[in-house]
């Protein structure tokens, strides 16, 4: 029997989740923000690239789940797979379904329930698909709570993850893992370059973006924790990628060329103890990262009231600034409430309901894995 050791937590990656979520919020509310405060126009390029925050999330997801589970799930066992899927379900479904029903009520009040408005489906079929988190598998048209398309994509990756962990069970060489990660991103970019619509997206190929970025993040993690790749020296990649996104419109412009840099930035950040990792490990930023999923899931539920508030405040500088601050405060409060009242209690309920297991630690702690700690993991806090 192999000796189990507990891997250190990676607080910088939790802080990075906050950055990714806020980036997506800025992307969705870019027009409203600039209408309220035109002086923020220099941030327009960065906000336009905010859709890449989802790609950052996908890479983070693959990396963190590999860090947590890959060495524990090298062979397929139904019990471990059931535990993994149950944990993932508890992580995303309760918040998703509460946000779904808030949007159902909003659609009813606005008279859009049962119809497709502005290419967004508010139909009975879309509702049932959302309950099963398969809405993006069935149609690439947005539905209730538009950002929840990525939850459907994540759910697809979660169901595949136990098989992916088995597939890479014997992978140990860092060079092989890095080459496969590069190939994963390369295939994704090739598909987008050859098959994308004029708007940069794929039609009826929902799996491409999540699968290749999730796998890319997973392989980068294994190159580090199993292969000993010294990725920490590449820590500047992430801030540099964000600077490029802020200054060079062509770096994003609805495309995904920056996704590999973001995935590599995740791995480099995890392996680094430098100033970027220390900054993202600050307590308040880690706390924000813990609420990032809730923020992502609730922020677009306020689309209609925000539009109304912006319409009333436009032209009045002081009122516009007040509205901008109020919107930020409301989104933060709503995310905190969703995390505290829905996300955390639901996860505790699922863990308590299945009974204790000696080899299954609490979801808020790093998982025990059968490998020795890597030298580059030291001093991350």
pLDDT of residue 140: 87
Residue 341's contacts (CB-CB under 8 Å, 6 or more residues apart) are: none
pLDDT value of position 5: 56
pLDDT range class, residue 353, cuts 50, 70, 90: low
pLDDT class of 350 with cuts at 50, 70, 90 = confident
Instruction: Please tell me which residue, 380 or 342, carries the higher pLDDT value.
Output: 342
DSSP per-residue letters across 89-140: HHHHHHHHHHHHHHHHHHHHHHT-TTSEETTEE-SHHHHHHHHTT-HHHH-S
Per residue in 139-161, pLDDT (tens digit) is 888 899 999 999 999 999 999 99
Structure tokens at 70: 């890959």
- For the stretch 190-239, pLDDT in tens is 999 999 988 888 888 999 999 999 999 999 999 999 999 999 999 999 99
Q: Find the mean pLDDT for residues 291-304.
A: 97
User: What's the whole-model pTM score?
Assistant: 0.89
Does residue 66 contact residue 218 with C-beta atoms inside 8 Å? yes
Structure token digits, residue 110 = 């606005």
| Average pLDDT value for the chain | 89
Residue 330 reports pLDDT greater than 50:
yes
Low-confidence winner among 4-18, 147-161, 176-190, 331-345 (lowest mean pLDDT)? 4-18
Instruction: Provide the greatest CA pair distance for the chain.
Output: 70
Question: CB neighbours of 381 closer than 8 A, spacing ≥ 6?
Answer: 8, 9, 11, 281
- In tens, the pLDDT along 212-224 reads 999 999 999 999 9
Average pLDDT, integer, range 358-368? 34
Predicted pLDDT at 380: 28
* CA–CA gap between residue 55 and residue 67 (Å, rounded): 18
């Amino acid at each position: 029997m192999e000796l189990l050791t507990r891997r250190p937590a990676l607080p910088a990656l939790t802080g990075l989740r906050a950055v990714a979520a806020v980036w997506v919020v800025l992307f969705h509310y870019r027009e409203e923000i600039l209408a309220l405060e035109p002086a923020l126009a220099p941030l327009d390029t960065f906000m336009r690239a905010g859709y890449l925050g989802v790609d950052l999330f996908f890479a983070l997801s693959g990396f963190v789940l590999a860090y947590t589970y890959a060495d524990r799930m090298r062979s397929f066992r139904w019990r471990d797979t059931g535990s993994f899927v149950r944990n993932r379900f508890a992580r995303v479904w309760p918040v998703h379904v509460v946000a779904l029903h808030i949007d159902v009520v909003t659609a009813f009040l606005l008279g859009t329930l049962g119809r497709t408005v502005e290419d967004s489906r508010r139909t009975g079929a879309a509702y049932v698909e959302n309950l099963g988190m398969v809405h993006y598998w069935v149609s690439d048209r947005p539905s209730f709570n538009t950002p929840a398309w990525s939850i459907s994509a994540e759910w697809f990756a979660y169901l595949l993850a136990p098989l992916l962990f088995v597939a890479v069970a014997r992978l140990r060489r860092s060079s092989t893992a890095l080459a496969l990660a590069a190939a994963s991103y390369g295939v994704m970019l090739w598909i987008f370059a050859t098959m994308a619509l004029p708007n940069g997206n794929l039609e009826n190929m929902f799996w491409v973006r999540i699968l290749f970025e999730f796998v890319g993040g997973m392989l980068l993690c294994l190159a580090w924790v199993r292969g000993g790749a010294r990725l920490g020296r590449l820590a500047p990649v992430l801030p540099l990628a964000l600077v490029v996104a802020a200054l060079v419109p062509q770096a994003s412009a609805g495309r995904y060329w920056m996704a590999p840099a973001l995935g590599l930035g995740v791995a480099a950040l995890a392996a680094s103890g430098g100033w970027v990792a220390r900054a993202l490990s600050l307590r308040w930023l880690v706390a924000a990262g813990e609420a990032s999923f809730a923020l992502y899931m609730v922020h677009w539920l306020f689309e209609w009231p925000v539009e109304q508030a912006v319409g009333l405040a436009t032209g009045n500088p002081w009122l516009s600034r007040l509205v901008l601050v109020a919107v930020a405060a409301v989104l933060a409060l709503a995310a905190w409430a969703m995390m505290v009242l829905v996300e955390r209690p639901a996860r505790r309920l699922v863990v308590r309901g299945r009974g204790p297991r000696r080899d299954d630690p609490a979801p808020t702690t790093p998982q025990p894995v059968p490998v020795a700690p890597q030298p580059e993991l030291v001093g991350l806090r």
